[in-house]
Amino acid sequence: MFFVPELIEKKRNGGKLSKDEIRYLVEGYVKGEIPDYQMAAFLMAVYFRGMDEEETAELTLAMARSGEMVDLSAIEGVKVDKHSSGGIADTTTLVLLPLAASAGVKVAKLSGRGLGHTGGTIDKLESIPGFNTELSKEEFIRIVNEIGAAISGQSKDLVPADKKLYALRDVTATVDSIPLIASSIMSKKIACGADKIILDVKFGNGAFMKKYEDALELAKTMVKIGELAGKPTVAYVTDMDQPLGMAIGNALEIIEAAEVLKGRGHEDLLNLSLEFGAEMMRLSGIEEDKAKAREKLLENIKSGKALEKFKEIINKQGGNPGVLEDYSLLPQARFRCEVEAQEEGWIESIDALKLGLTAMKLGAGRQKKDDRIDHSVGIWLGGKIGDRVEKGKPLAVIYANDEEKLKWALKEVREAFRISPNKVEKRKLIRARITAENLEEF
């Protein structure tokens, strides 16, 4: 039995908490035995004093074990999960899931809904008529064993400590803390039952972490947590100073994923999906040479095998795979309006956050948890940083169901682009790769 004020004081004074002390705090808070005001004081102490690697790992494990721990042992082979820290037009999972599965990787993906810019992966998949994102554990495991991949919503019993702690952090100005962010993300990944983990930690205007150095520190911390928890982890730090893909919005991102799997998508989304897919093949023991793995994945795109795998996943989960060939089967917005360039030149910058918030207010995302998502609305970009634009040509296309919101969005989207008369270099997407043994910066 511990005395909570003493634990708060210990951390406030820069002391190190033991495994049992951390577990006591987490379990007591989840059970309601430790009140909000004491846990808020503890979180503030962590915010100012931080936690070392062992403390952060113990906090993560205590949070993961606060609820259901998913057992995926009935799935044959190595299970690799991928998590993104969130961004604008981040359609990677929709491409990666079928792409990696087409090469033999077992992808058992438990995903959440979005709160913010656009929907989460589950929301995007629910754009597909009939697609079932609420699989039972038995259905989920059976589908992965049969076709190599499935995706389902997370159980409400998964990591209840994170739900309570995040809600408290949100109202006590303690969100922006590396140990607390890392434990929040990794507790869910560990509880989801994967054997190995890939992390995409984004930085920039459209990301949670604004600075590269902060994203790098977060990535290193999460890799260390994964190793200490017995879950080999690889993290990438990637650029989110502009949208990743061209589509922002739920049905639009299904279309973009299909286009990438047909070999017609934007190079950034394609290259990131290939990098993660090759890493998953390496971690699974399928292909140690990542260059060869990438070649196999590209061949699966060229041959149509990756697209067929996406159709197979959709079919197995009750959806209509015909949407990948006939996009009119997806939800359609009433209004489509082009945002024309007012001058010619090169795209110098794109305010990713502004575009994400605009898409959210059109209905593509949630401002509150109980908001309903409009799967049909969103924004499709006409170019990215470094691309040449001509006067009168579209910088973007807005899809909306409300004329007043459309008028407002036109102004917002136009203001998000800055055009230069001089040629602009394209941005580097992948900036670092971190493993337990090595840090590569690009």
- Per-residue pLDDT of 384-428, as tens digits, reads 999 999 999 999 999 999 999 999 999 999 999 999 999 999 999
pLDDT value of position 308: 98
To which residue do tokens 């790992």 refer? 57
Give per-residue pLDDT as tens, 99-134: 999 999 999 998 877 656 666 899 999 999 999 999
Give per-residue pLDDT as tens, 13-56: 999 999 999 999 999 999 999 999 999 999 999 999 999 999 99
Q: Which of 169, 196, 311, 433 is catalytic?
A: 169
The CATH code for residues 80-324 is 3.40.1030.10
In sequence order, what DSSP letters do the residues of 282-326 get, joined into one string? HHHTS-S-HHHHHHHHHHHHHTTHHHHHHHHHHHHTT--GGGGT-
Is 336 in the active site?
no
Q: Which of 111, 183, 184, 284 is catalytic?
A: 184
Question: Hey, what are 408's tokens?
Answer: 């407002």
Q: Please, where are the H alpha helices in 32-149?
A: 36-49, 53-64, 92-102, 121-125, 137-147
pLDDT value of position 159: 94
Q: Contact, 413 vs 396, CB < 8 A?
A: yes
Phi/psi at 236 (5° precision): -115, 145
Fold classification of 4-50 is 1.20.970
- At the top level of CATH, which class does the domain 332-420 belong to? alpha beta
To which residue do tokens 């002391």 refer? 15
**Segments of the chain with pLDDT less than 70:** 114-119
pLDDT value of position 85: 82
Q: Contact, 116 vs 365, CB < 8 A?
A: yes
Is 169 in the active site?
yes
- Residue 324 CA: distances (Å) to CA of 53, 246, 256, 413: 45, 17, 10, 28
Is 111 in the active site?
no
Instruction: List beta partners, residue 396.
Output: 339, 381
pLDDT value of position 1: 81
Is 162 in the active site?
yes
Map out the domains of the chain as residue ranges.
Answer: 4-50, 80-324, 332-420
Q: Which of 188, 311, 316, 366 is catalytic?
A: 188
